[in-house]
Amino acid sequence: MIRTDLIAPIADLLDKQARAYPEKIAFEDRHRSVTYATLASEVTNLAGHYLEQGLTPGGSVGVWLPNSVDWVVSVLAAIRAGGVAVPIAFDAKNREMAYRVEDAGITIMITAPVMAEAVASLHAGIRPDRVILNGVDETAGDRAADLAYLCATPAASVVPVDDIDSVSMIVYTSGTTGQPKGVMLSTRSMLWVNAACWASIFEVGPEDRILSPLPLFHSYALNFCVLSVLANGASEFIMERFSTDEAMDLLEQGEFTKMPAVPTMFHYLMLAAKEQGRNPFHSVKRCVSAGAIMAASLNEAFETEFGVELLDGYGITETSTMVTMNWPGSKRVPGSCGLPLPGLSVRLVDMDDHDVPFGEEGELIVRGPNVMKGYHDKPEVTEGALKGGWYRTGDLARMDASGFLTITGRLKELIIRGGQNIAPAEVEETVQKLDGIRDCAVVGVPHETLGEVPVAFIVPENEMPLLADVREFCARTLSSYKLPADVLLVSEIPRTGSGKIMRFRLCEAYVQKKEKVET
């Protein structure tokens, strides 16, 4: 069942929850918390001040803050004012921040005092008209630049109800290759995912207390940890950044019922719990993983270890996050990312756009209410990605006769060795089954005769596994052409905030290492 009653303007959702749960904590972090009544007041106040400071309909508000209650209020206020919220990773470099400011045309920037100088140093032609800080020197007297003051003080402007169908968020893709693209999303498209997935399948409700370790500037967290919490009247604790030790301590308090994360987070939590003989998930009823492919072995091991259901799903920014989801309490296909969301159309097609039979690999394309409006200021790229209303994900998948989808790789990540295709995810899952492997990533590197060969980058538990051992282990289940041609020890696998492997960085590091050896 799709909970269409939960799809409404931000103004209506705030009013609804403020009336129903005025004293209930909506969002909390290490520094402060807000009840639903306070949240509605702060968002409305700040939205009014945005308007007084020059925000026009469709104007962009950049939010360059760490995960926090202030982050949530700033983003919701931008949407509430009829503007466009543009989240920026707090650890973004100045160049990355400047690109987003210019590309999205940000006119108001919300940031921390430590970042004020970086914003002020921007070229005059792209510098935001106003900068609001979440903490200023009160002796300076510029209260109009103090986020806390603006949130607590009613504005003179009357804030109209926000348009649910207009672009309300620009979320930048991971940008693992080339410049990131600004994905234009509406409140309706994002809340439709809640209505079809989080509320109806994952069953988020007012009784839930959620622990969020995810980076809020990613679509997965923005959708689940902000909009879904608000729409469903839940309560949430926001971690500023993921820390295995902090997450373990918070979970052991026994007040959390649900937790979203990416596979790597669940992996590290499970390792730490085993090492320390702890069960931090004793009060958690259900977890969800998205953002990257979860190995079937990790999913099974987690559920066995903690007795907690861990549902895996597949989603991307361009579809307002989720496309498929495994359902609670039902039979699951190991390694699959579940069934398409109700009301969503999916197809698997070959290079000629013909549908492939069940069991065969094809590119996953998607059509539905959650598909993006397009890429900001990139009409040609948008036209190539959206054809006839179908979004071309670039991900390869197989579907069985029951409709379960299994992601097998990505067109751009395919390793083509002597004309044979290798999906990195398949090799990674095999390598990770070898004892002593903490994390692993496989990339294609240039080869003089074969074009590309797979190389495994491994984060070991203790000692580095030998290349011969890795190849011998993989040879038990993989064809010979899929075996890693080399194995490199690394301290960590570079990933985006949503958990996706940044393969281009590993490839660059390998090439640079080979060049040094040859010289």
Domains in the chain, number: 3
Q: Is residue 70 included in any domain, yes or no?
A: yes
Domain containing 499 — which CATH number? 3.30.300.30
Residue ending a domain, among 138, 163, 188, is: 163
Q: Inter-axis angle of helices 424-431 and 467-474, to 10 degrees? A: 110
Dihedral sign (CA 141, 113, 242, 150): positive
Q: Tell whether 30 and 98 lie within a shared domain.
A: yes
Q: Is residue 53 included in any domain, yes or no?
A: yes
Q: Are 2 and 342 in contact (CB under 8 A)?
A: yes
Alpha-carbon distance of 62 to 67, in angstroms, equals 14
Alpha-carbon distance of 447 to 46, in angstroms, equals 56
Q: Collapse the DSSP code of 271 into the 3-class scheme (helix H, G, I; strand E, B; otherwise coil) and give the result.
A: helix
How big is the CA angle at 407 (ends 170 and 494), to the nearest 5 degrees? 60
Q: Tell whether 432 and 498 lie within a shared domain.
A: yes
- Residue 176 pLDDT: 43
Q: Is residue 182 included in any domain, yes or no?
A: no
**Which long-range contacts does 490-495 make (Cβ < 8 Å, 24+ apart)?**
490/457, 490/458, 490/459, 491/459, 492/439, 492/459, 493/264, 493/439, 493/440, 493/441, 493/457, 493/459, 495/264, 495/292
- Residue 447 pLDDT: 84
Range of the domain at 439: 414-518
Q: Tell whether 156 and 205 lie within a shared domain.
A: no
pTM of the shown model: 0.86
Q: Tell whether 324 and 449 lie within a shared domain.
A: no
Report the candidate in 284, 207, 98 with the shortest Cα–Cα distance to residue 266: 284
Q: Are 276 and 305 in contact (CB under 8 A)?
A: no
Q: Is residue 468 included in any domain, yes or no?
A: yes
Q: Which residues pair with 170 in a beta bridge?
A: 184
Q: Tell whether 377 and 270 lie within a shared domain.
A: yes
Q: Tell whether 353 and 248 lie within a shared domain.
A: yes
Q: Tell whether 401 and 429 lie within a shared domain.
A: no
Q: Is residue 189 included in any domain, yes or no?
A: no
- Residue 139 pLDDT: 47
- Residue 450 pLDDT: 83
Q: Tell whether 123 and 236 lie within a shared domain.
A: no
Residue ending a domain, among 385, 410, 435, is: 410
Q: Collapse the DSSP code of 314 into the 3-class scheme (helix H, G, I; strand E, B; otherwise coil) and give the result.
A: strand
Residue ending a domain, among 143, 163, 183, is: 163
Q: Is residue 449 included in any domain, yes or no?
A: yes
Domain containing 20 — which CATH number? 3.40.50.980
pLDDT tens, position by position, for the chain (519 residues)?
899 999 999 999 999 999 999 999 999 999 999 999 999 999 999 999 999 999 999 999 999 999 999 999 999 999 999 999 999 999 888 988 999 999 999 999 999 999 999 999 999 999 999 999 997 655 445 677 899 999 999 999 889 999 999 999 999 986 444 578 999 999 999 999 999 999 999 999 999 999 999 999 999 999 999 999 999 999 999 999 999 999 999 999 999 999 999 988 999 999 999 999 999 999 999 999 998 888 888 999 999 999 999 999 999 999 999 999 999 987 899 889 999 999 999 999 998 899 999 999 999 999 999 999 999 999 999 999 999 899 999 889 999 999 999 998 777 787 888 777 788 888 998 898 888 888 999 999 988 778 889 999 999 887 766 778 888 999 888 888 899 999 988 889 998 777 888 888 898 888 887 776 665
Q: Tell whether 362 and 224 lie within a shared domain.
A: yes
- Residue 508 pLDDT: 84
Q: Is residue 183 included in any domain, yes or no?
A: no
Domain containing 236 — which CATH number? 3.40.50.12780
- Residue 179 pLDDT: 73
Q: Tell whether 423 and 393 lie within a shared domain.
A: no
Q: Is residue 172 included in any domain, yes or no?
A: no
Q: Tell whether 215 and 138 lie within a shared domain.
A: no
Q: Tell whether 220 and 305 lie within a shared domain.
A: yes
- Residue 135 pLDDT: 79
- Residue 516 pLDDT: 67
Q: Are 114 and 195 in contact (CB under 8 A)?
A: no
